[in-house]
Structure 1
Amino acid sequence: MNKKLLLTMGAAAAIAAVSAGGTLALFTDSKSASADFVAGTLCLDSERNDGDTVPGPMFYITAEQGRTTSGAPGLLPTGVWAPGDSHTRTLTVYNGNRPECKTSMDAWLTAVEARLTEGIADQYVALASQLNVVVKTPQGGGPDVVVAEAPLSDFLAGPVTILYPDGDKIPLAYPSNRHMKFEVAFDRDAGNEYQGKTLVVDFVVHAEQQRNNR
């Protein structure tokens, strides 16, 4: 499942604790790809949540930037980002329950990674070290718990394992859905060298079948 995260620093100086400059962060909706499975079919789909218009970007500065493919404006723009800012949005991951996503088995969600988006000029990869990503999801019938936390640069380096704090795997039964909260924080001590920079990545959520993968 690919989620696009677009991070573009504004032209104005971004100075710690000063509301200047900006970061645009977009998760765009797309379907998951099947992997190698012993039997059956696993297909995941997703949409943004939090009462916003779906599908569409999850993090965006203005309503215009958060428009869906049908042209509806986003309802939850973050406004301009400054060092020290943090924003949280929810991604709903589906296993079945959607006509375009045919599946036949229970799944484990196993990892999240980020990949540089192809076709984007002047990617400033160093910006990834200034953005901390926390992924949360409910455990059982309880509250959200942290299942992964790392700088975006770690997600770019390869898959970051997602597990409950007690080490248990994260289930996504068929047919059902799971809410996953993504919290992105811009380092309070980030300096002016990140102004006017662009970083665009795709987030990929990895899954495996539950059968024969206990």
Structure 2
Amino acid sequence: MTERPPGSTGPGGRGLGGNPMSKKTLMVLGSAVAISALSIGGTLALFTDATDASKDFVAGTLCLRSDRNDGDPVPGPMFYITPEQGKTPSGQLGINATGPWAPGDSHTRTLTVYNSPDCSSMDAWLVSVEARLTEGIEDQYEPMAEKLHVKVKTPKRGGPDEVVAEAPLSDFLAGPVSIAYPDGTKIPLHLTSNRHMKFEVTFDKAAGNDYQDKTLVVDFIVHAEQMKNNP
């Protein structure tokens, strides 16, 4: 979901070592979920080394959709500095603005992923998360991604949230990061169900003033695979 670059300023703060650091707009993180390109019925092999198509093809489609959550389960960015930046496509202002970020700050937001029967016909595994620079944003400062640490969490069988991926944002920008429970089991998303994915982002407290007034806007993308014939 493309958002406009941040442009507001915030109250003054302090950087590492007591140096003044204005807590201006440092980052906005958007959210999106990919449509899983598994329109299978004879055109796309589930297993690349498949020799018996009767075992490795499934007729059907898999597609996902998502909304941000945390009290505002409607389309829009997950992380945003001001209510204006969190605006929904219909024009409703965001209600969970983070305010300006400074080194050491950490925020958590929830992305709810749906396996909707409106367009999907099969159960799925959630297999990876990646990030992409949001299109149409000028002067993106990619080095900031090395100073932003991302944890992705989701519950298992109704239990507490478990960390399923953890890496600098730069790793997510480099390509899909695999997600799985700590015991190695896959993350299910059954047809007609939804799953809450919590994204905790922490700005390195040692970042200093080099990232002041910089902009980085990304989309998080969740990838899925069909569950059938894919244990």
TM-score, structure 1 as length reference: 0.87
- What is the deviation of 1:19? 6.6
CA distance in 2, matches of 1:51, 1:128: 27
1:22 aligns with 2:25: yes
Shift of 1:202: 2.3
Is the Cα–Cα contact under 8 Å of residues 10 and 195 in structure 1 kept in the other structure? no
- Quick check: 15-24 or 74-83, which moved more? 15-24
2:123 corresponds in structure 1 to 106
Partner residue of 1:69?
Answer: 89
CA RMSD of the aligned region, Å?
2.5
- What is the distance in 2 between the residues matched to 1:14 and 1:6? 27
Give distance in 1, aligned partners of 2:206 and 2:88: 33
Give the stretch that moved more between structures: 26-35 or 196-205: 26-35
Query: What is aligned with 1:32?
Result: 35
Shift of 1:9: 8.8
The corresponding residue for 2:184 is 167
Give 1:135's aligned residue: 152
CA shift for structure 1 position 200: 2.4
Moved over 6 A (4+): 9-14
Moved more, 63-72 or 112-121: 112-121
Pairing partner for 2:163 from 142, 146, 154: 146
CA–CA distance in structure 2, aligned partners of residues 145 and 91 of structure 1: 15
- Structure whose CA Rg is larger: 2
Aligned position for 2:70: 50
Q: Sequence identity of aligned pairs in percent?
A: 62
Deviation at 1:123, TM superposition (A): 2.1
- Whole-angstrom distance in 1 between the partners of 2:5 and 2:106: 14
Match of 1:180 in 2: 197
CA distance in 2, matches of 1:190, 1:10: 20
Work out the CA distance in 1 between the residues paired with 2:29 and 2:173: 16
**Secondary structure of residue in 2 paired with 1:154:** helix
> Structure 2 CA distance, aligned partners of 1:180 and 1:188?
25
Displacement, 1:120?
2.8
Structure 1 gap ranges (5+): none
Q: Which residue is equivalent to 1:41? A: 61
Code of the residue aligned with 2:193 in structure 1: it is S
Structure 2 counterpart of 1:117, one-letter code:
T
Q: Which residue of 2 aligns with 1:202?
A: 219
Native 8 Å contact 2:153 2:163 kept in 1: yes
In structure 1, the residue corresponding to 2:165 is in which secondary structure?
strand
1:62 touches 1:77 (CA, 8 Å); kept in 2? yes
Gaps of 5+ in 2: 41-56
Q: Does the 8 Å CA contact 1:90/1:181 hold for their aligned counterparts?
A: yes
Contact (CA 8 Å) 1:7, 1:23: kept in 2 or not?
no
| Larger strand percent | 1
Pair 159,134 (structure 1): closer, same or farther in 2 beyond 3 Å: same
